[in-house]
Structure formats: C-alpha cells, structure tokens
Structure 1
C-alpha cells in the first residue's frame, strides 16, 4: 500500500513539473543574483600590450627570461634594436626559465620580407606549450605545404580553420589559450590538453583536444608530466623568424 502511494506521488510530481531534491523555481530576479566570489580586477594592455596580471617574457630589452634548451646557458638569439629577437641559426631552441601549466599566451612573430626557401624551409619556427605541444610558425604566403604542418596548425594533429597570415615581413599575432593535460596518480591521461588559437584575431583552432605531444614522426602518445617551459624553435634552416611582445597569464 505504501509503495503504491509513493508511485502515485512520483507520477503526480512528474506530471505537474515537481522535482525531488532541488530548490523550487526562483520567482524573483534577485533569487538568481550572485555577489561572490568577486573576480579580481585586471587592467588590460593597449594594442596587445601585457595586462596588469601578466608575466612579461620578452619586452625587447633583454633575454633574461630565456635560456638554451640544449644546455641551459644564456639564450644566444639576436636582440634587435626594434624591440624584437630573431632566431640565430644553428644555435638551437630557447625556452623560458619558468615552468607553466594552463596559460593564456600572447606572442607576435614575423617572417623575413626577403623570401627564401619553400615548403617547410621558409621561415619555419614553432611555439611549444609545455615544451611538447606545438603551434606551427611558417611563411605560407604563396607557399603550399602539408596542411597539418602549415602556419597555425597544431603540428601534425589539427589543420587550422583558416590561413590568416599578413604579408611576408609584417607582424603576426598568436593568442593561445592552453589547458594542460591532467594525469592520474598512476600516470594515465585523465583529461587531454586543449588549445584555442587566434591568428591575427581570427579563430583558427577552436578548443582542439590534443592526442598527445606533437610528433614529427609517429603517433602522439601522452606520458605523464607536470608544468614545463614554453619553447621557441630554431628550425636550423636559416629561418630568420623574429619574435616580440611575449607575455603570459597563468590560468591554473
């Protein structure tokens, strides 16, 4: 008898829109207004400059935030009078001294105005999040290559939604939202890394879920890791790519 009554009450509730274990529908506007937690105030930078809560990784004055990937010595790239730095061929990749997890990264780059090379040998570099996950830098203006390795690709994993480069020799911007992967205590992947990329303000990667590190050969495979540096690539083919105005906001 009691069971039958419970069933009847449940049917009545479902019929007339009642739910169990939940608050009733708010009836006043203030019932759905929240006043905490209060978000921190951030002063935005103008024209791509670093906001007030950012870590400035390169402002054109020095390479103090960067070291060589090969041997952790002082970064040996060219520091230019215009506030940029240029890859010094055959000196190797450089990385940040700091390690990062999930970040918002702003970086500006340009290929040389004087065009040399073709395919992957024309102004090739790359921005590696956590030293493993590459957004390709390449001069693709009138220069076809494999599309999962063209400018704006997440290398060998995701073709960009658009090719949004400015003319060769002019400054490009990448704004990257990167969420680091999460691993179990046993080292298994729990939550893959994701990446969103805007190239000159155009969405070219939309919350792409990475399959693992971006590999030149073979399939991507996750291996457990923690925070790690941002790397800029010396492709070792006289790429002459320049960078400026690099800053990051930690999202952890």
Structure 2
C-alpha cells in the first residue's frame, strides 16, 4: 500500500492533476495514508466531489461514506461492482479539466474489485495504461503477486513494473512477537522436566491465540542469548511469528 500513495504525491508535487481511487471496498486505506481520513464527500449535479489532499491531488474512497472508521462493509460481489462503477463514472475528477493520472489502489488478490475495475476502464478511451504490482519479500506475499501477474496477462493489462516494499527491512529477534498456536492440550516442560497440564480455564484450549513472547525470550536469554542480537530480514520471520511452545 505504500507505493501508490507515494507515487500519487510525487506526481502531484510535479504539477500534474492526480486522482487516487481506493477500490479496496472492505479495507480502504488510501484516506489515512494520504492524510484525509475522517473527511466526507458530497454529491452535486456533476457527481461525487472527491476529497482533496492538496489542490491537485483528489481522493475517492468508500471510507468517506462510512459512519465511522471501524464500520465493516459486508457486501457481495454485485454491490461492490456497483459501487466501483459509480466511483469511476460519477466522480467529478477536477471538473471539466479532468486528470493527468488516475491511480487505482486495489486490495491484494484477484477479486471482484480487480475484475470490475479492468472491465469498466477498458470501455473508455485509453483504457488501462498499465499495472504496478506491489509486494514485500515474504514468500506469502510473492505467491499473491504471481497470481496478480497471471491476472494481468489474462486481462491483457500491461505490467509497468514491480515494486518491492520493505526490501531492506531487518528486525532483531528480540523485537519479534511470538504467539502460541491454539491446540486442545499443551504441556509445558519445566526446568526439572516435569510436565504441568494446563487447567480448564486456559485460553489455548478454547481456541484463543496466546501471546508467549516473554516466555520465549526468557528461554532464549537462558539458553542462547546471542540469538537475541541477530538481525533477520522478513523472509525468515514475519513480525508476528506463530510458534508452538511445548
């Protein structure tokens, strides 16, 4: 999500008229990333009036239509499609002057939002100029990106490039968060090798994820303190590592 908003600001700073359309219906983030969260859009005779992050950077998102920031959007495909079509056809982007660039911020995957956006834009002159695919170094993220690239190939959308966010990010092991995976029974070995069965009120038996970060860090400090000083890139650890401590 970092790239499209940075690109929009950069283009706007160079004098171009830029629009950012957030079609992540269930998880809109563009308003917060561009500093316009909590604002409202208004409807006029010429259509929806977008929110302006600066005089030549307009933003449109379903976030502006929700009663509060935590409101959930529970919509099926047809309703999502209708909302995206409205955004694309009824938003008054910069009045009669139009836009130099329209950047569409989509959610991960190849869902209704992507299909609808490509279908609607392909009907107008010029269509889709191209797609910029954004990823992070983890294999989980790259697996989604490969699907995105196949989607672009099938829909004949030119891939302009791939941006890898957080490519140089490294984290200390001591800064990671460790979570105990919920299972029916967990026995923790004590220092004298005696097992202690967890009681009936233990959250892990009820399917809850238990934060055991301090417990794991204490073990590492006692057994191999040098590991705590290791710096590792995210391809080795996600910031929230789920572990099963026995």
Q: TM-score range by the shorter chain?
A: under 0.3
Higher helix share: 2
- Larger RCO: 1 or 2 (CA < 8 Å, sep 6+): 1
Give TM-score scaled by structure 1 length.
0.26
